Amino acid sequence: GAVVSQHPSRVICKSGTSVKIECRSLDFQATTMFWYRQFPKQSLMLMATSNEGSKATYEQGVEKDKFLINHASLTLSTLTVTSAHPEDSSFYICSAAMGQRGYGYTFGSGTRLTVV
């Protein structure tokens, strides 16, 4: 089945530094990848949609200069949290779409970011 690998699984960084999270589709090509943020005991909130070779589309209220997304190939998208602050601490999850009808929406295992 389709596998999406997300790395790292956990990261602790100092306030003011930047952190990069990678999302790879291992056995399929993903023209579209999605980045979500999840706070404790809450649902997944879509941050942005990443299309290979073009600029990401950000959801309302998500700062594109803070959450930089790059989708350089059909198997890799990255999310960089720039100048991280403690309020950016959260669980970040990516998903990759193989097809249009939902069966291709495979999720990564998530990244727990803690900013100290």
Partner 1 sequence: GQQLNQSPQSMFIQEGEDVSMNCTSSSIFNTWLWYKQEPGEGPVLLIALYKAGELTSNGRLTAQFGITRKDSFLNISASIPSDVGIYFCAGLRDGGATNKLIFGTGTLLAVQP
- Which residues make up the interface to partner 1 (CB under 8 A)? 4, 6, 9, 32, 34, 41-46, 49, 51, 57, 59-60, 91, 93, 95, 97, 100-103, 105-110, 112
Q: How far is the CB of 28 from partner 1 (least distance, A)?
A: 14
Least Å distance, CB 16 to partner 1, is 26
Nearer to partner 1, 10 or 15 (CB): 10
Q: Which of 38, 29, 31, 33 lies closest to 111 in space, CA to CA? A: 38
Rank residues 15 and 45 by Cβ distance to partner 1 and give the closer one.
45
